[in-house]
Amino acid sequence: MSDKPSVLFVCVHNAGRSQMAAGWLRHLAGDTVEVRSAGSAPAETINPAAVQAMREVGIDITDQTPKRLEYATAESSDVIVTMGCGDTCPVFPGKRYEDWKLDDPAGKGVDAVRPIRDEIRDRVQALLADLVPTD
């Protein structure tokens, strides 16, 4: 891992869970971590309930767009986190892989997305503490 670790969050549509995780990590890590997200079948837009749930905690993800998972992006990432959605990722020796089993926010209202958002926050905080320990 380089001085500035890179984390790739992967979910099929790159519209809900992976976007919320990327939003949390950008918010919590600042410029200490390179944050990426992608999906194998990206949606056209981010899930509006995910956008609203993140806005409620002061994080704006409206400037993000779902992106297609590229081989080179995965290869150049230090940590690859899948969101428990059965997405497949290329496997590279020496990479750290995690699979976070999370409910799918697709088609759910903001009331149902809030607990998913909060669980993602807790997991991102633990990941960040491991990647960038504080003295």
- State the catalytic residues: 11, 85, 89
Burial of 133 from C-beta contacts in 10 A (0-12 / 13-18 / 19+): exposed
Report residue 76: phi and psi, to 5°. -95, 5
> Which residues, listed in sequence order, are joined to residue 96 by a DSSP beta bridge?
79
